[in-house]
Amino acid sequence: MTLLRWIEHKAPGQKYKSPQRQALADFDSIIRHAVTCVSSPLKLDPRSGVFVVYSRFANGEPVDASIQRLSDQEVSKPLDASNLGDWLTGGLLRRRTRR
């Protein structure tokens, strides 16, 4: 299975323009369909989708990043740079460092 995450970055409090919101919603619908449709030629990981990462930067690293999943509007708790990196890679970094 493939983990496909379309990621949009916004500064905290930054708003969408309507065309951008619609385009992201359309991409999310396509990805969600590929996840749930048994006849889809794409085999996507259920964690796939369109996400908005809200964060500010300090010393070149994201600070207090929160992630909003577009399909259900769920927002994560604030993440530091290490946890954000782990989320971005679907846990791949964590698994590699354990070896």
- Along the chain (99 residues), what's the average pLDDT of each consecutive run of 10 residues? 92 88 95 94 93 88 87 86 85 60
Q: Are 78 and 64 in contact (CB under 8 A)?
A: yes
CB 97 within 8 A of CB 89: no
Record the pTM. 0.82
